[in-house]
Amino acid sequence: MLLDSLKKDKEKIIDLTQSNPTECGFYYPKEEILGALSNSGNLVYSPASKGMLSAREIVSEYYKDKGYEVDPDSIFLTSSTSEGYLFLFRLLADPGDRVLFPGPSYPLFEVLTQLNDLELVTYPLQYDNWSLDKALFDEVSPDAKAIVVVNPNNPTGSFVDEADLGIINGSCLNTGAAIICDEVFLDYVFDDKAKPKSLVGNKTSLTFVLGGLSKALGMPQMKLAWIVVNGPDRLVEEAKKRLEIIADTFLSVNTPSQNALGKWMKCKPFIQKDIVMRVRDNKKVVQSMISGSNKFKLLEAQGGWYSVLRLSGSVDEEEFCYELLSKKKVFVHPGYFFDFSEGAHIVISLLPQKEIFEKGMNALCIE
Ligand SMILES: Cc1ncc(COP(=O)(O)O)c(C=O)c1O
């Protein structure tokens, strides 16, 4: 692959796909983060299937700050959101069953479904506001065991709106499917006035909300995430009992992270402020650099860490990305990577530091 050979030749690459926040020069309060790990409680192992109650109470506080009451008893800790998906696939589906995912969306989902011998079926989201098409959704939804919603979606940055949620809830009521709502980017909005809704408040259908430190604190290395179970009481109680057996089998969350969670969450305002400022500033760079361009159109987005650019004319997106990398050493992702079905797109991460980002954008925009 071109990228590998450039790296082998020690070529300097401007990586506009960078998604690892720990590589982007963000401010992490080092003393507080590392100090929280120095805890004598870490010498003791007290296994708890859902995770330690003290840590689940902190997750409950996270939602309280957003105006939601979440019972710690309905929270399950996992080592990552990806692991949360695996637990839920085991809970909700048998090999060969179908799970619905939005398209475009995050490529990891294909691998996650394959690892569980499930069939991934896409329900298309349509621009200009990335809402779902009811007719197309109705075609694919009848025999699905779970419907995945990504709120806000990666990379489109769109939140699930009331109309779409109504369609999804209606389908779940008819078919008995459950909702898996991935909210890892919930805290990241481009406009302060926007108040995105979490599906931890969705009582209509059996709903599992995923969140975690990889995005909420920009600390994927700490390996702490969660699942919130919510919905009609009887379904919730049954799901919790069965999910507890799965979680108890692995007991995968490490004790130090659980003990440190309270202190780490106190760092959230500082860490998030830095990340939010970066993604907003970089988005402004994109807007100003492509304004008046007949080559690119920036697609509307409400949140997340990414921007999507539509390429004008009959450009082949893969060729475009290959040329950009080989000639200008700038790495971006082509839209097909995220399952964009129509038109040519590129996806860029808004995380890189200003100088790197501007250099990459300059190279992208100049003929
Ligand atoms: C939408 C979405 N969900 C889940 C994940 C994975 O999160 P985790 O590191 O908690 O497994 C990612 C990673 O980028 C993501 O974009």
CB 125 within 8 A of CB 154: no
Average pLDDT of the chain, as a whole number: 95
Count of domains in the chain? 2
Q: Are 165 and 50 members of one domain?
A: yes
Q: Are 172 and 263 members of one domain?
A: yes
pLDDT value of residue 128: 83
Q: Are 155 and 287 members of one domain?
A: no
Q: Are 255 and 275 members of one domain?
A: no
pTM across the whole model: 0.96
pLDDT single digits (tens) 17-74: 999 999 999 999 999 999 999 999 999 999 999 999 999 999 999 999 999 999 999 9
Q: What is the mean pLDDT of residues 122-143?
A: 92
* DSSP sequence for 152-186: S-TTT-PPPPHHHHHHHHHHHHHH--EEEEE-TTT
Q: Which domain holds residue 358?
A: 2-27+269-365
Q: Are 147 and 184 members of one domain?
A: yes
Tell me how far the alpha carbon of residue 306 lies from the centroid of ligand 1, in angstroms.
13
Q: Are 6 and 50 members of one domain?
A: no
pLDDT value of residue 313: 86
pLDDT value of residue 63: 98
Q: Are 166 and 256 members of one domain?
A: yes
Tell me which of 17, 76, 81, 85 to substitute to probe ligand 1's pocket, judged by most ligand atoms within 8 Å of the beta carbon.
Answer: 81
* CB crowding 154-172: b at 16 or more within 10 Å, else e: bbbbbbbeeebbebbbbbb
Q: Are 217 and 351 members of one domain?
A: no
Q: Which atom of ligand 1 is nearest to the CA of 150?
A: 1
- State which of 210, 241, 267 marks the end of a domain: 267
Tell me how far the alpha carbon of residue 246 lies from the centroid of ligand 1, in angstroms.
21
* Domain CATH number, residue 277: 3.90.1150.10
Q: Are 208 and 314 members of one domain?
A: no
Q: What is the mean pLDDT of residues 253-273?
A: 98
Q: What is the mean pLDDT of residues 217-233?
A: 98
CA distance 52 to 254: 10
Q: What is the mean pLDDT of residues 354-359?
A: 96
